[in-house]
Amino acid sequence: MHHRFRVVRYDRRGYARSYPHQGPFTVADQVEDLKVLLDGRRAVLVGHSYGGNVALAASVALVGQVPAVSVFETPLSWMPWWPGTTAGGASVAASPEDAAETFMKRLIGSDAWDALPERTRHERRREGQALQGELSALRDGPPWSAGDITVPVLCGHGSLGSPHHREGMTWLSTEIAKGKLVCIDGAGHGAPNSHAEEFARRLVLPHFETTDGISTA
């Protein structure tokens, strides 16, 4: 992607290079961070997991700056059918110190977590405050309305993804006016890393198929 487009990646408040941060950690606050980062530039937004909620909300808040969005297995935690036994749900119930570790173990497994370098585990554990803040706010109510989203949105999930993620992306693709469902075969929640080439080809590049560089179809 870098050889064709200007790609900007950043750490949300409270994570990695954006640590420490005292919050708040709502989607609305995350959108304000993204607004500062874009500094008036137009950009196609690609959001994985929680980041998809930021991208969707930003498409409404930053009118004219966001021509298209792609999301992958974005949690819809406020929905009544969303299970409370997910990795996110378990993290909200844990102490701030244990939240990130609980979340990571649910996603990658205890053995993989234990195999990480001590420094990496420490860095992930200290992100628990941000993780809990994000997930708790998300369970309080929707950070965007599907009816307000007018740009094209590719809604992705992996064929090996959890049932609630598959259901969530299917629902989203039908509720958004220009939504389209994309399934990456053989992928789970970590598809941006495990299936990077196919992820880019099916969830990013379709937005750039017109002569002006941005698809508005």
User: Which residue ranges make up each domain of the chain?
Assistant: 16-83+146-208
Q: What does residue 27 show for φ and ψ, rounded to 5 degrees?
A: -60, -40
Residue 111 burial (CB < 10 Å; 0-12/13-18/19+)? exposed
Q: What's residue 106's pLDDT?
A: 85
- Look at residue 216 in the predicted model and tell me its pLDDT: 38
Residues of the chain with confidence (pLDDT) below 70: 87-94, 210-217
Residue 127 identity: E
Q: What pLDDT does residue 169 have?
A: 99
φ, ψ of residue 199 to 5 degrees: the values are -60, -50
Paired residues of 153 in beta bridges: 69, 179
Instruction: Give the pLDDT confidence score for residue 213 in this predicted structure.
Output: 44
| CA gap 6, 21 in Å, rounded | 27
Distances (CA, A) of 127 to 91, 130, 179: 12, 6, 32
**What are residue 213's phi and psi, to 5 degrees?**
90, -15
Contact between residue 184 and residue 156 where contact means Cβ atoms under 8 Å apart: yes
Please choose, from the candidates 143, 210, 155, the residue with its C-alpha nearest in 3D space to the C-alpha of residue 179.
155
Q: What pLDDT does 19 receive?
A: 95
Number of H helices, E strands in the chain: 10, 4
Determine whether domain 16-83+146-208 maps to CATH 3.40.50.1820: yes
Position 212 scores a pLDDT of 44
Per-residue tokens: 149: 């989203």
What's the pLDDT score for residue 1? 81
pLDDT of 55 reads 99
